[in-house]
Chains A and B, each alone.
Chain A
Amino acid sequence: MSRSVVALVAACTLALSGCNMLPQAPGPLPTDFVPSPSVSPGEGPGALSPDGFTAAQRMTVRVRNVGCGFISTGTGFALDAHTLVTNRHVIEDTKKIQVQTYDGRSINATTASTTTVADIAIITTEESLGGTFANVARQDPVETDVVTVVGYPKGGRLSTVSGVVLGESPDPLGSAIGTVLATTATVEPGSSGSPVLDEDGRVVGVVYAKNKSNQSFIVPVSTLKTLLDETSLLVPEAAQC
């Protein structure tokens, strides 16, 4: 009989333990089901610029060389608020250098430096060039890389063309030390000094020449970085006339 009682107690205990399976009471509901946005529309890589122009367009300037009895134009791009890069031949025999931004602002250059190492010149301005500057790549582009050139061909409107890197080439003008890069991007007189951008918008070179086959030649970014690091290679360009 005692065994029956024990069994019954066990059965009751088991039955009561089932009561623990009762669901818990519901907790309070959240006050707001709408999550807060994690990214602002003004952030991120696809963010709009203040006026709809791309960073490449905003940093690219038109260079006017007022020389002794002549006027020539080229292109340059801002390294920072007061420094820009262009070609040496763009500012040769200059009396006065003026740059104009994409939105029409005219700025006078204060100094200019050139080098014999490459067809590169560094221009400084007293007035700020703006708020968008070049993001210089760490490495040179390689063959088949897609590149974009932003500039003022023939001194005209700001335009953008694309091309592919063909590979290393000897300097067609015979003036640069080392090799340069050839691309299929079509450039014109006036495009000299244009920034060459990779697909991430980083500057990988500077346009300085073209040939009859419409191939363009660029000074690779490694040469540009060497010049920027070794300022002793740059010589102030004296005003002519």
Chain B
Amino acid sequence: MSDGEDGLHSDAASRDVETPPRSRNRSTKPRRRWPWIVVILILLGLLATSITMTYEASVRSNEWSAQVAEITDTSYTLGKQVADEKSENVRLNDNIDLLEEQLSNSKDTVLQLSDQKAQWRDDTEFAQQQVEATENLVTRAASAANGLQRCADGQQELAATLASDEEYTPEEITDYQDSVRELCDNAEKANSDLQEELAQ
């Protein structure tokens, strides 16, 4: 160990003698400088990148600011529209209330008129039935009157026959009397039926 140390001392001593220290420093300097060059280059690159990015950030910031301003303007515009629409909504709601009231009244009127029409049609149909019934009664009354007239005519003819000088057999007179009686019975029955119905 001591030998080594001694040897080193002796080598160092011999280098100090043989080679001046300045010439040794010149030989090692280029090898130790390149990292710093790299560092400086990197720092320069970083600086350039930073400048670029700062510029880019500034540009984007301005764009965002412009858009925020535009959105703000749009928001105010929309807010005004909303306020206007709310006012319009209130006004329209008032109109709707009025229209609903008018519609309710109109519906009520429609139902009332429809009901009146229905009642009128009921009355018309009832009146029509009454007219038909009356017409029927008139027809029957005319028929009954006609039957009674024929009965009266038959009795007059029978009386005239009996009073005439013409000779009739008893059978002929009896048949004639029977036919006149039948005619009068039918007429009286039709008349009594009519009177009963009229009494109702």
Contacts and interface: CB of A to CB of B under 8 A. Distances in A.
Interface in A38-73: 51-53, 62, 64, 66, 69-71, 73
Interface string A166-205: 0000000000000000000000000000000000000000
Interface in B133-154: 133
Contacts of A104: 110, 113-114, 117-118
Contacts of B64: 23, 26
Interface in A64-104: 64, 66, 69-71, 73, 98, 100-104
A53 B53 CA distance: 70
Given A53-B107, A106-B121, A157-B115, A22 B35 contact: no
A96 B125 CA distance: 10
Secondary structure call for the A interface: loop
Interface residues of B, number: 40
A161 to B, nearest CB: 15
B107 A157 contact: no
Nearest to A159: B111
Interface stretch (B2-10, B41-49, B164-172, B188-196): B41-49
B107 A52 contact: yes
A66 B122 CA distance: 9
Contacts of B126: 71
Nearest to A16: B49
Interface residues of A, number: 40
B48 to A, nearest CB: 11
B38 interface: yes
Interface in A19-41: 19, 22-26, 29, 33-34
Nearest to B71: A29
A98 B35 contact: no
A34 B75 CA distance: 11
Contacts of A23: 60, 64
Given A26-B67, A29-B67, A53-B107, A102 B114 contact: yes
Nearest to B116: A104
Given A5-B35, A12-B45, A71 B129 contact: yes
A8 interface: yes
Interface in A113-149: none
Nearest to A67: B129
B78 interface: yes
B129 A69 contact: yes
Nearest to A27: B67
Contacts of B38: 5, 8
A4 B36 CA distance: 10
A12 B42 contact: yes
A148 B147 CA distance: 61
B90 interface: no
A22 B57 contact: yes
Interface string B83-125: 0000000000000000000011011001111110111011001
A25 B56 CA distance: 10
A4 B32 CA distance: 13
Nearest to B122: A71
A64 B119 CA distance: 10
B70 interface: yes
A235 to B, nearest CB: 26
Given A16-B49, A22-B53, A102-B110, 11 more contacts: A4-B35, A16-B46, A25-B60, A53-B110, A66-B129, A100-B121, A102-B111, A155-B119, A156-B115, A158-B114, A158-B115
10 contacts: A1-B35, A9-B42, A16-B49, A24-B60, A64-B122, A71-B122, A71-B129, A100-B114, A103-B114, A104-B118
Closest A-B pairs by Cβ, 4 of them: A104-B114, A26-B67, A157-B115, A52-B103
